[in-house]
């Protein structure tokens, strides 16, 4: 009886225990990085990326599975999906901002905007965030959860975890917290579907990068309540309610973002890509 708690019908360790093992290894890697001073040598985002990568590799080694399997196997198609995802995330944020602009939620001011160097620095920062968060939320844990529970339960659970992970962000209060939680949950569904439809992390990583970079570095809004980069343009709000504009938190806390994310999720749900090469997934 005790054996069944840990092993499934095939004699393999149950996915729930694998997920707990990943969490323990990630915590160990973070402690180890602290002992070697890696948190000081790298930015937090890139150090966290290395920690998640290390925990993922260790888990795969323990399973005797090849490294590229969390959806990272390099190929021309991987690169193409990353590029398409980046463009898609950028376009989604442009559409959200355009809707709010049309409703007189803000106007843009160009003076004192980000330089080309700052735009590239923002891209580098948000690339680390995209790799880190997609490996954490759509990588090993999500893929094991999907095997154990199926599509929609795994998407819902990871979407809730993704949303709750942002609750400590600045500005998460009142109506902003409600709309931001809803939209980040929807973003989790969108990114999870992007992985499941391709069995690669390229598309969700690209969407994540384009979404954050367009919102912060290009359009000058907050990104999940933080403002680490200066925008190419600066939005000046015109006193409209925060549920419409997202306020200082960013476009992720607005009604137009929820509507457009919902449309994007429907589009992905009905999309039927060719999956002739799925060797890169776990």
β-bridge partners, 109: 234
* Residue 179 exposure: Cα atoms within 13 Å on the Cβ side: 25
State pLDDT tens for residues 186-232: 999 999 999 999 999 999 999 999 999 999 999 999 999 886 678 99
Q: Which of 260, 270, 268 is nearest to 97 (CA)?
A: 260
- Count other C-beta atoms under 10 Å from residue 39's C-beta: 14
pLDDT at residue 24 greater than cutoff 70:
yes
- What phi and psi values does residue 209 have, to the nearest 5 degrees? -65, -50
Answer yes or no: are the C-beta atoms of 206 and 81 closer than 8 Å: yes
Percentage with pLDDT > 90 across the chain: 71
Give the distance, in angstroms, between the CA of residue 142 and the centroid of all CA atoms in the same chain.
Answer: 12
For residue 67, what pLDDT is reported? 66
State pLDDT tens for residues 64-117: 877 666 788 889 999 999 999 999 999 999 999 999 999 999 998 876 778 899
DSSP element (H, E) containing 235: strand 234-237
């Amino acid at each position: 009886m005790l054996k069944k708690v840990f092993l499934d019908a095939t004699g393999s360790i149950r996915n729930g225990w694998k997920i707990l093992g990943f969490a323990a290894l990630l915590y160990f890697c973070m402690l180890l990085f602290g002992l070697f001073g890696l948190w000081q040598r790298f930015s937090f985002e890139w150090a966290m990326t290395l920690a998640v990568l290390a925990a993922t590799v260790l888990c795969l080694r323990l399973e005797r599975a090849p490294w590229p399997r969390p959806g990272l196997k390099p190929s021309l198609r991987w690169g193409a999906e990353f590029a398409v995802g980046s463009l898609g995330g950028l376009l989604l944020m442009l559409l959200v901002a355009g809707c709010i602009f049309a409703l007189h939620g803000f106007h843009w001011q160009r003076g004192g905007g980000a330089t080309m160097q700052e735009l590239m620095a923002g891209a580098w920062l948000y690339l680390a965030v995209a790799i880190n968060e997609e490996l954490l939320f759509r990588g090993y844990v999500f893929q094991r959860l999907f095997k154990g529970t199926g599509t929609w339960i795994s998407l819902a659970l990871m979407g809730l975890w993704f949303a709750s992970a942002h609750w400590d962000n600045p500005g998460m209060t009142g109506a902003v917290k409600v709309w931001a939680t809803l939209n980040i949950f929807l973003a989790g569904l969108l990114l999870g579907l992007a992985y499941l439809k391709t069995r690669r992390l390229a598309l969700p990583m690209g969407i994540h990068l384009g979404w954050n970079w367009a919102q912060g570095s290009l359009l000058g809004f907050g990104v999940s309540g933080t403002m680490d980069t200066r925008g190419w343009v600066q939005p000046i709000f015109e006193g409209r309610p925060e549920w419409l504009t997202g306020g200082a938190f960013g476009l992720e806390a607005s009604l137009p973002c929820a509507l457009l994310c919902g449309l994007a999720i429907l589009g992905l749900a009905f999309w039927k890509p060719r999956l002739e090469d799925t060797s890169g997934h776990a």
